[in-house]
Amino acid sequence: MAISIDIREDAGVRTLHFGSDWVQGAMRIARPWNLELEYTREMMASLLLRDTPRKVLLIGLGAASLTKFLYRNYPQAHLTVVEIEPSVVAAARQFFKLPEDPKRLHLVIGDGAEFVLNSNKKFDLILVDGFDEKARTGALETLPFYQACRTRMSDDGMMAVNMLTRSRGFKATAARIAEAFDDRALVFPSCESGNAVALAAGGTPLEVSFEGLKENALKLKEATGLNLLPTLTRLAQAKTCLNNTLVL
Residue 94 backbone phi and psi in degrees, to 5: -75, -40
Q: Which of 111, 124, 129, 156 is catalytic?
A: 129
- Are 129 and 58 in contact, with CB atoms under 8 Å apart? yes
Which among 81, 205, 213, 220 is positioned nearest to 155, based on CA atoms? Answer: 205
Q: Give the Cα separation of 65 and 60 in Å (integer).
A: 11
The reply to whether 111 belongs to the active site is: no
Q: In a 10 Å sphere around its CB, with 0-12 CB exposed, 13-18 middle and 19+ buried, how is residue 188 labelled? A: buried
CA gyration radius, the chain: 17
The CA dihedral of 83, 131, 186, 39, to the nearest 10 degrees, is 90
Kindly list the catalytic residues.
129
